């Protein structure tokens, strides 16, 4: 499984059993935003899901600097590299759909050929756009390293999706195009959600929304426990915005390092009460710092790649 069949039948079954036997409390569904625990304690401030979930700074001095001191930071090189890989995933998913809808059903090898045609130029374009966000111009070696890894990721994904189309068509015979796309590339990338009822941004962007209302977050750095909070945040926001339950969340770690094939690690989460409560507590901690203009101080050990380092 790599971005193709994101939700395994085994996981879907586990979620179904969990919902039947345990379930999610009504007060912790996003649509209950107007009362109780979900109601934002501070009005008029709208946080990004990452302001809440990205707990790289153990004391949350980063949110104090951002919202109270008004410090604006530029992204670091690892953050920019992560942005590049996200854009490549979106680029390939959209490329597959564009190609199929404009040319009709084609064989997998032909689809692959079209997707990788000029992929070096496409990736270089993404990288140059993203590195412009850095404070200082990066060295050529860093740019070339990101381009090289990005191209490998692009080709790898193109191959996976092309094979996915072939696999589906070869087992089901001649089908209408919409069914092929829905089965082989069902992902909706950068899906917009209004999280404002929960005190979150009006323009949240879910990395991938998968059929069956599953939120997917793609991560490119090291695995961290708090990454699962992103899933709870997007699920709550989606429920608040659409009034539709979201019970499944998937974290995908992508590493496009030196190995010829990118590495993908998938973690599946049932979005139960515990995770939802953890997200809301983290949101309220951020609101408390902003409301009381409270400087939480520095931790014993800082996150080594913290973008606030020079302001702190
Ligand atoms: S430099 Fe340290 S204290 Fe300051 S925001 Fe970053 S991690 Fe937190």
Average pLDDT over residues 130-155: 92
**Residue 258 and residue 114 in one domain:** no
In a domain, 105, yes or no: yes
The verdict on residue 67 lying in a domain is no
Question: Smallest Cα–Cα separation from 279: which of 55, 22, 35?
Answer: 55
Do 101 and 136 have their domain in common?
yes
Quick one: CA dihedral 145, 149, 155, 158, positive or negative? negative
User: Does residue 298 fall inside a structural domain?
Assistant: no
Q: Which of 10-24, 56-70, 298-312 has the highest mean pLDDT?
A: 56-70
Same domain, 146 and 202: no
Instruction: Give a yes or no: residue 303 inside a domain.
Output: no
pLDDT at position 5 is: 62
The answer, yes or no, to whether any atom of ligand 1 lies below 6 A from the CB of 303, is yes
The torsion angle over the Cα atoms of residues 131, 50, 268 and 255, rounded to 10 degrees, is: 20
Q: Whose CA is nearest to atom 1 of ligand 1?
A: 309
Q: Which domain holds residue 150?
A: 77-184
- Same domain (yes/no): 147, 239: no
- Which atom of ligand 1 is the closest one to the Cα of 312? 4
The answer to whether residues 199 and 238 belong to one domain is yes
Positive or negative torsion for Cα 43, 294, 66, 307: negative
Whole-number percent of the chain with pLDDT over 90: 68
* Shared domain check, 175 and 211: no
Average pLDDT, the chain: 91
DSSP codes, 234-257: HHHHHHHHH-----EEEEEEEE--
Q: Is 185 in the pocket of ligand 1 (CB under 6 A)?
A: no
Question: Does ligand 1 lie within 6 Å of residue 177's CB atom?
Answer: no
Q: What is the Å distance from ligand 1's center to 301 Cα?
A: 8
Q: Is residue 115 part of a domain?
A: yes
Centre of ligand 1 from the C-alpha of residue 39, in Å:
29
Read off the pLDDT of each residue in 122-147 and give the average, rounded to a whole number.
Answer: 93
Identify which of 50, 51, 61, 65 to mutate to test ligand 1's pocket (most ligand atoms within 8 A of the CB): 61
Q: Which of 23-32, 211-220, 269-278 has the weakest average pLDDT?
A: 211-220
Distance CA 156, CA 173 (A): 25
| Ligand 1 centroid distance, CA of 54 (Å) | 12
Identify whether residues 218 and 260 lie together within a single domain: yes
Q: Which 3 state secondary structure label does DSSP give 206?
A: strand
Q: List CB contacts of 156: < 8 A, sequence separation 6 or more.
A: 2, 261, 262
Do 237 and 158 belong together in one domain?
A: no
> What is the 62 CA–ligand 1 centroid distance (Å)?
6
pLDDT at 309 > cutoff 70: yes
Flag whether 127 is in a domain: yes
> Ligand 1 in contact with 308 (CB < 6 A)?
yes
Name the one residue in this structure whose structure tokens are 């707990």: 55
Q: What is the pLDDT of residue 235?
A: 96
pLDDT at res. 185: 82
CA of 59, closest atom in ligand 1: 8
Q: What is the per-residue pLDDT for 299? A: 95
For residue 211, the model assigns a pLDDT of 72
Mean pLDDT of 142-165: 93
297 lies in some domain: no
Q: What pLDDT is stored for residue 172 in this prediction?
A: 82
Which position has the token pair 């995770």? 275
Is the residue at 95 inside a domain?
yes
* Atom 8 (ligand 1) nearest CA: 57
Arithmetic mean of pLDDT, 42-69? 96
Write the burial class of residue 152 (CB in 10 Å: 0-12 exposed, 13-18 middle, 19+ buried): buried
pLDDT value at residue 261: 83
Predicted confidence band of residue 246 (pLDDT cuts 50, 70, 90): very high
Number of structural domains in the chain: 2
């Amino acid at each position: 499984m790599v971005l193709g069949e994101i939700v395994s039948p085994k996981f879907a079954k586990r979620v179904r059993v969990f919902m039947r036997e345990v379930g999610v409390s009504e007060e912790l569904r996003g649509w209950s935003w107007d009362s109780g625990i979900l109601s934002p304690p501070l009005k008029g401030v709208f946080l990004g899901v990452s302001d809440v979930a990205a707990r790289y700074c153990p004391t949350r001095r980063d949110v104090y600097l951002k919202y109270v001191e008004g410090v604006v930071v530029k992204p670091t090189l690892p953050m920019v590299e992560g942005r590049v890989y996200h854009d490549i995933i979106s680029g390939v998913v959209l490329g597959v759909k564009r190609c199929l809808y404009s040319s009709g059903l084609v064989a997998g090898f032909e689809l692959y050929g079209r997707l990788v045609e000029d992929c070096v130029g496409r990736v270089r374009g993404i990288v140059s756009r993203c590195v412009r966000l850095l404070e200082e111009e990066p060295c050529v070696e860093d740019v070339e390293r990101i381009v090289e890894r990005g191209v490998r990721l692009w080709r790898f994904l193109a191959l996976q999706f092309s094979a996915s189309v072939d696999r589906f068509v070869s087992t089901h015979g001649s089908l209408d195009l919409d069914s092929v796309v829905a089965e082989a590339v069902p992902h909706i990338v950068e899906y917009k959600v209004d999280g404002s009822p929960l005190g979150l941004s009006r323009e949240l962007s879910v990395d991938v929304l998968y059929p069956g209302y599953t939120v997917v977050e793609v991560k490119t750095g090291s695995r961290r426990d708090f990454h699962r909070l992103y899933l709870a945040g997007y699920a709550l926001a989606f429920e608040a915005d659409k009034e539709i339950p979201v019970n499944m969340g998937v974290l995908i770690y992508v590493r496009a390092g030196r190995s010829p094939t990118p590495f993908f690690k998938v973690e599946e989460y049932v979005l139960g009460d515990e995770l939802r409560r953890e997200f809301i507590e983290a949101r309220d901690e951020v609101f408390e710092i902003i409301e009381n203009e409270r400087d939480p101080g520095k931790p014993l050990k800082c996150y080594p790649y913290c973008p606030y380092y020079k302001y702190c």
